[in-house]
Structure 1
Amino acid sequence: MTILDTAGPRAVRHRTARRGGPPVALARHAVALARRSLIKTLRTPEALIDVTLQPIIFLMMFTYLFGGAISDGDRHSYLQFLLPGILGQSLAMGGIALGQNLNADIEKGVFDRFRSLPISRSAPLVGAVAADIVRYLTVCVVILVAGAAMGFRIGTNPVATVAAVALAIGFGLSFCWLSVLVGMLVRSPGAVQGAMFMVIFPLSFGSNVFVPTSTLPGWLQAFVHVNPMTPLVATMRGLLVGGPVAGHLLPTLLWMAGFLVVLVPLALRAYSRRA
């Protein structure tokens, strides 16, 4: 009889789960931990400020303070142009909380408790990312409702609108792995926020989020054309307001795939070292 046999079936299952386990078990564990993250969020509603109040502030501030100057007084036309851009920016910023929460859980020893459970080691990370779907759906609903109250009108159809929301959520889930990676590398939740702002703000303002690309200096246009926010926002404008979509959709999907291919392995490697 080997040592593995004497350990008993429960210990064998425990070791199997720790090594990764079957995909079904991983999915079940990830769903349970995603539910934990959602319950935690519901008990601290202020954690949703970045996907509720903050996007509304950005939308109102740029529409009413700068919209008149940017669009020669036609704030309604600027709102039609701005809202898809604010949606893209808000989705990128919405993932910051994921890295902060993971960093805080590790510092508090929460992941030490997870390691003692018969679950896949990657389940807590996958569950946390899956729970962010609710945050991204929330920001989409909040911005569209607030925009409608301010005068924004969807110029396409329900299918295109659903496609825009799905694309936005997909981009958010791809981009959030950068926040996961940063959360595994820095020492405090505050450092996660500072590092992510240094990435997101140049991507947001050096793009077509707030003004048309043609109005920017030539040297800045070169950056705008290789900025992942640019094709995303252009695609969502086409799906929500009307205009070309196909030419911008492929670059957006390629950027999303690139984020997953590059960031997920790096994040998992950093996670295995930290947690």
Structure 2
Amino acid sequence: MLSPGALAADWATEQIALDSPKAESDDPDDSGEQSRTGRLTQITSRRVRAGGDFPIELQQAPTVKIDVREVQLRNTETVQAAPLPDPVELTGDRAAVATTFSASASPRELGFRAYLAHTGLLTGRQFRVVVRDRLTLAQSLLFPLLSMLMFKVVLGDAVGQATGQNSAYGTVPLVVLVGAMFGSLAVGTRLISERRTGLLTRLYVMPVHRAADISSRVNVELIRILVSTLVLTTVGMLIGWRFNQGLLPAIGVFAVALLYGAAYSTIVLTLAVSGSNLPLVPIMSLFTSLLMFFNSGFSPISAYPEIIQPLVRNQPMTCAIETMRALATGGPVAESLTKTVIWAVGIILVFAYPALRGYRRAAASRN
């Protein structure tokens, strides 16, 4: 079977032959060597090869315009696709045919069971990535620790005298939440890097549940927040932090930190997979700094100007700090806990769907 290029050349030669008068060769040795065009002498003859004198007809050969679409049409009509062989005849086994030529692939990447299985596998992958990134892991722990010591040394006595309570009950929840927020920035920058290198695209075309990868990133972030909260509260006992209300309120402190971290991670992941190429670290660092210095853990609410006191009192970080303080020391917890849950659940509901849609676009493009 000739290729399309060979068929096109053959057809062009036939067209030239129809428009050119036939000529006979004057060399008896060249019998049978005349080209199909009549006028054009083949350069493969013995006389032409020996003398190297190409005839003038070859240099003045007429040109014919070739319609490529017509050539393609002729090629399609003349070349028929060979029928596929019968798989039963090839294998001799109908059971083997079912595995070799399946009618439809089973949707292994769909369903809740697939989601749980794939999320577990990808969570293990993300956990190994975080553990190997020792610099980022150390930074997510050292920065909150240094901040806690600095707040205690610089502002500890002033805050304690103003509130009549040990400042550690405001400082420790503050640095726990700050550590959760700064750690989420590392997750966002890692996601941007994997998008630009094409790793997200590789994961997206594999038979993996679409929500498994982004869920695994949130899971690893929750594990990191849990570990950092345990470390920070343990070190906080050196400056006066205590779990005075028993085991269940202590578990509640960790639950509040996890809920707050999950909400903040959802925001970071949404911005990381957005196609606007926003500078993630500068924007979120500024947002984190504003929350860190305008809350009840940094300074009593009464110390802020009256015009911004309602904002400071009801912002999500203050609600979480007041909840953790009440769980550790005792006191009214219903109002602050309700506000914390509303903030966290509302943020997750608002940003979860854009995060999934943005992840799909990010997997299809590296920009």
What's the TM-score bracket when you normalise by the shorter of the two chains? 0.7 to 0.9
Aligned pairs for 1:80-91 (under 5 A) are: 80-91=169-180
Question: Could you give the per-residue CA deviations for residues 157-200 of structure 1, whole angstroms, max 9, x where no partner exists?
Answer: 11100111012112211221000011112548xx3221211221
- The reply on whether 1:194 has 2:286 as its aligned counterpart is no
CA contact (8 A) 1:51 1:135 kept: no
Q: Give the number of aligned pairs.
A: 265
Residues in 2 aligned to 1:176 and 1:25: alpha-carbon distance in whole angstroms? 24
Report % sequence identity: 25
Match of 2:6 in 1: none
The normalised TM-score by structure 2 is 0.67
Question: Could you give the per-residue CA deviations for residues 134-157 of structure 1, whole angstroms, max 9, x where no partner exists?
Answer: 111111111111111333222221
Are the structure 2 counterparts of residues 81 and 125 from structure 1 closer, same or farther at C-alpha, using a change threshold of 3 Å? closer
Question: Could you give the per-residue CA deviations for residues 232-261 of structure 1, whole angstroms, max 9, x where no partner exists?
Answer: 110000011222111111111111110111
- The reply on whether 1:147 has 2:240 as its aligned counterpart is no
Which one-letter code corresponds to 1:156 in the other structure?
Q
CA contact (8 A) 2:141 2:179 kept: no
Which one-letter code corresponds to 1:236 in the other structure?
M
- The reply on whether 1:273 has 2:361 as its aligned counterpart is yes
CA contact (8 A) 2:115 2:212 kept: yes
The gaps in structure 2 that reach 5 residues or longer are 1-97
Residues in 2 aligned to 1:274 and 1:144: alpha-carbon distance in whole angstroms? 38
Match of 1:232 in 2: 320
Which one-letter code corresponds to 1:43 in the other structure?
R
CA contact (8 A) 2:122 2:212 kept: yes
Kindly state the Cα deviation for residue 12 of structure 1 after the two structures are TM-superposed.
Answer: 1.8
Match of 1:42 in 2: 131
Residues in 1 aligned to 2:320 and 2:161: alpha-carbon distance in whole angstroms? 26
Residues in 2 aligned to 1:239 and 1:223: alpha-carbon distance in whole angstroms? 23
- The reply on whether 1:123 has 2:216 as its aligned counterpart is no
Residues in 2 aligned to 1:24 and 1:231: alpha-carbon distance in whole angstroms? 36
Match of 1:12 in 2: 105
Match of 2:75 in 1: none
The normalised TM-score by structure 1 is 0.88
Aligned pairs for 1:1-275 (under 5 A) are: 8-9=101-102, 12-13=105-106, 16-17=107-108, 21-72=110-161, 77-185=166-274, 187=277, 191-275=279-363
Secondary structure of 1:52 counterpart: helix
Which one-letter code corresponds to 1:170 in the other structure?
L
Are the structure 2 counterparts of residues 245 and 73 from structure 1 closer, same or farther at C-alpha, using a change threshold of 3 Å? closer
RMSD: 2.4
Report the structure, 1 or 2, having the larger helix content. Answer: 1
Match of 2:3 in 1: none
Which one-letter code corresponds to 2:318 in the other structure?
T
Task: Find the structure with the greater CA-based Rg.
Answer: 2
Residues in 2 aligned to 1:66 and 1:265: alpha-carbon distance in whole angstroms? 41
Between 1 and 2, higher relative CO (CA 8 Å, sep ≥ 6) is seen in 1
Secondary structure of 1:35 counterpart: helix
Residues in 1 aligned to 2:325 and 2:292: alpha-carbon distance in whole angstroms? 15
The gaps in structure 1 that reach 5 residues or longer are none
Residues in 1 aligned to 2:319 and 2:165: alpha-carbon distance in whole angstroms? 23
Which one-letter code corresponds to 2:114 in the other structure?
A
CA contact (8 A) 1:206 1:224 kept: yes
